[in-house]
Chains A and B, each alone.
Chain A
Amino acid sequence: MTTTSTAEPRVRAERPDTSPPRRRRMSVTGRRSLTAWLFLTPTLLILIAFTVYPMVQAAYLSFTDYNLIRAAQWVGLDNYVELLSDDAFWNAFGNTVLYAVVVTPVTVVLALAFALMLNQAFLGRAFARTAIFLPFIVSLGIIAIAWAFLLDPNIGLLSHWLSLVGIVPEQGWLSDPRYAMAAVMVVGVWKNVGFYMVIYLAGLQSIPVDMYEAARLDGAGVWQRFRNVTLPLLSNQTLLVSVLALIATLQAFDQIYVMTRGGPFFRTETLVMLVYRQGFQELRFGYASAISFVLVLFVFVLSMVQFGYLRRKQVTY
């Protein structure tokens, strides 16, 4: 707020000042960046209040023993040391990696496939686009409840259909340790694929048509055009989509919380689920903060690696 009020008169005051051309040019640059900062201020303030401040707070808490009621006790690196020998942590870490390793590529490939399909003109295209995008804007809580109903062993529609073709879920897909993870993965993919599809669609439509024409004149078939024109020219979208998708899968929480609560016996407990359990059920907010910081670090490193790798494959045209 203070930035806005002090800065604005200065901008206005500079406007009538039209004297030497050199000074004026500098002030244009200054004014430009000042305007940019002014536009950024509201967002920055929100980011500071709701992202940066909590993160710094959590970083501090990860070195403490804190239960929300009593003042935090400084314990140094104890929480991090405990993590290393905590089976629950390694189990959740493994589940998170498994979830990310399966869901990320499946989501990206499916999103590209849908985008390619829905980039063609056909009857019902608008409906298909909406149908695939819709799950993304519906609250995950509601989606998860709906899926839990569909998969219910006694009243579930999906379970019923599957039983018609001889697949009989005796104890429910979500409570069977063999299928629970797969079930939450399916929902995770189904939920997000529409969003990434839209990014790919935008990318597809920005590819100049003459590129394809040129390729066709050179005698390239459908596969070659896809391989040598579409795919490389979509590399910017691929970079964005795979980084976003990876980060999203590493933070999987809501559909798992509603559908399985991490069960049966922690088979679907991800790191974020564990953070929640340690914090709100076992009242160990310091330990929970330490887990979330390990996750932050993990996401950061992976994103950087991914960014570095895919950046090299980028093309400009």
Chain B
Amino acid sequence: MKTQHRRRSRERRLFRAARPLTAVAALTIAGLALAGCTGQGSGGGGGDETDASGKVTLDFWNGFTGPDGPALQKVIDDFNASQDGVEVTANIMPWDTLYQKVLTSVAGNDGPDIIAMSASRMPQFASQGLFEGLDDYYTDDAHDSAALATAAVDASVYDGVNYGVPVNFTPMMMYYNKDLFSAAGLDPEAPPTTWDELATMVPKLTVDENGDGKPEQYALAIADHETVPVMASLLWGTGGGITNAEGTESTLADPASIEALDFWVSLIRDQKATQIGMSGADADKLFQTEKAAIEIVGPWMTTGFDEAGLNYGLAKPPAGPSDEAVLADVVSMGLPAGTSDAKKEAAYEFFAYWNSVEGQTTWSDGSGFPPNRADVADKVTASPYPAIFGAEDVTSVSKTLLPGIAAGGPIMETIFNPSVQKALNGEGSVQDIFTAASAQVQAELDK
């Protein structure tokens, strides 16, 4: 008892001695904090305008980390060599890293000069004031914008203003494994063209050899998160969709949408058409390892499938009962709000080069992506895929998802995808789940 008491009183004495200094420390903390609070909200592009040789330098952030990266670099190198006023440097990083970094870096005045991102994400960022309007790019005839695919140009329009210039415009196509088709007794040259045909093939293509309830092979590889929104595009097949064309009203609970969802949910759950709960990368892996017979995905996977030695065919995704459902993905380039005139002019030069006949031929040849303009299709000879993905009957029916809707990202990630997961896991009826989801979508649209 005695020792304890003594220790406590010594502690108390030490604390008393420290008190004035504690006060000083507290004041310092408060002072620093107050100073910090006032320095809020500066923004806009920054950095040096020109390099040592007097060239305007442009830092171009994008997510072409795959085999398409070298093709992108080739176009940039060609552009840099074609003139001596502008120097573009590509900064390639994974897309999710780019989305995370871009806001903080632009806010910290240390951001990119050109930002590439999925056009479906652009309205959200544009509505927050990240991007500079680029309407004057399109009104300048020197840029030859009339040659570009309309859907590619329109994808980056938000609230009547165009905030981007297309990098690529890509329909998703159906890859199917010919060997697995043959093994299932199906004609490898006759992939399904309609939903009904697909439904009759699913029982043959989904194989549970040992009868343990987990198929060794699935008919389809469809992801429900972290992926291009193929699942959402399937709603178009019955004339449904997530919102109306204007993006003002949710149509997720409309009979047409429910019909499509019912069809796919029952195909996946009851017939085990695909493994549930896959991310985009999981689905790619499933198809690549020949554990799935069909995947609907973009041309960026072609090289990977070739390297895996797959014997695959390419076709237009099967059509729904009342409409074709072909999803197109557009990546656009935008400029941060507050970009200087000099940089803007330099960037426009690069955008025009990118979308020129020359630039697009190099890009499509190297990447396998279809060109953004129809008049170069016959010049693309190095790869057969741009012609298939860019075929008139495909591009004419393909659509982008939720174009120009600021809440598009949150709607997909926090409402649509989780609802699909719920339905696939049997956490309620399709009707109930998507009626509730529809109300949430409406709330997002009304914000």
Main SS at interface, chain B: helix
Give Cα A71 to B42, complex, Å: 7
Question: Is the CB of A205 closer than 8 A to any CB of chain B?
Answer: no
B200 at the A interface (CB under 8 A): no
Most buried by B among A66, A69, A163, A168: A69
The stretch of B98-106, B154-162, B321-329 in contact with A is B98-106
Determine the chain B residues whose CB is within 8 A of the CB of A33 once the complex forms: 14, 17-18, 21
Provide the bound-state CA to CA distance between A88 and B41, in Å.
Answer: 28
| Mask: chain B, 172-211; 1 = CB below 8 Å from A; 0 = not | 0000000000000000000000000000000000000000
A316–B5 Cα distance when bound, in Å, is 12
Q: Is there an interface contact between A56 and B36, defined as CB atoms closer than 8 Å? A: yes
* A168-B213, A263-B225 as given contacts; A57 in contact with B106, CB under 8 Å: no
Distance between A175 CB and nearest chain B CB, rounded to angstroms: 2
How many interface contacts (CB-CB < 8 Å) are there between A and B?
A: 124
- From residue 337 to 367 of chain B, which have CB atoms closer than 8 A to chain A? 337
* Residues of A close to B4: CB separation below 8 A: 316
Interface flag for A161 (CB, 8 Å): no
Q: Across the interface, which residues of A come within 8 angstroms of B225, CB to CB?
A: 261, 263
Is there contact, CB below 8 Å, between A70 and B277? no
> Smallest Cβ distance from A57 to chain B, in angstroms?
6
A280 at the interface (CB under 8 A from B): yes
Total number of A residues with any Cβ neighbor in B under 8 Å = 47
- Decide if B21 touches A283 in the complex (CB within 8 Å): no
Main secondary structure of the interface of A (DSSP, over half): loop
Q: A154-B285, A168-B214, A281-B409 are in contact. Are A53 and B17 (CB under 8 A)?
A: no
Q: Do B418 and A265 touch across chains, with their CB atoms under 8 A apart? A: yes
Q: Does A296 contact B (CB under 8 A)?
A: no
Does B399 lie at the interface of the complex (its beta carbon under 8 Å from any beta carbon of A)?
A: no
- How many chain B residues sit at the interface, stated as a range, is 35 or more
Q: Which residues of B contact A88 (CB under 8 A)?
A: 414
One of B41, B125, B425 near A177 (C-beta < 8 A) = B425
Partner of B128, one of A29, A67, A175: A67
Contact B419 A265 (CB under 8 A): yes
Q: Is the CB of B213 within 8 A of A170?
A: yes
Query: Are B277 and A175 in contact, CB atoms less than 8 angstroms apart?
Result: yes
Q: Is the CB of A69 within 8 A of B40?
A: no
Residue B55 at the chain A interface, CB threshold 8 Å: no
- Flag whether B124 is at the interface (Cβ < 8 A): yes
Residues on the B chain within 8 Å of A214, using CB: none
Chain A residues with Cβ below 8 Å from B212 are 163, 168
Q: Output the least CB separation between B95 and chain A (Å).
A: 13
Q: Which of A238-269 contact B (CB under 8 A)?
A: 261, 263-266
Q: Known contacts A29-B17, A168-B212, A283-B124; is A48 also within 8 Å of B277 by CB?
A: no
Known: A67-B129, A155-B285. 18 other contacts (CB 8 A): A29-B17, A32-B17, A37-B21, A48-B29, A49-B32, A56-B36, A66-B40, A69-B106, A70-B128, A175-B278, A176-B277, A176-B425, A265-B419, A280-B99, A282-B409, A282-B414, A283-B128, A316-B4
A-B contact pairs, 10 of them (CB 8 A): A32-B17, A57-B36, A68-B107, A69-B41, A69-B337, A174-B277, A177-B427, A263-B421, A265-B419, A283-B124
Measured CB to CB, the residues of A under 8 A from B are: 29-30, 32-33, 36-37, 44, 48-49, 52-53, 56-57, 60, 66-72, 88, 152-155, 163, 168-172, 174-177, 261, 263-266, 277, 280-283, 316
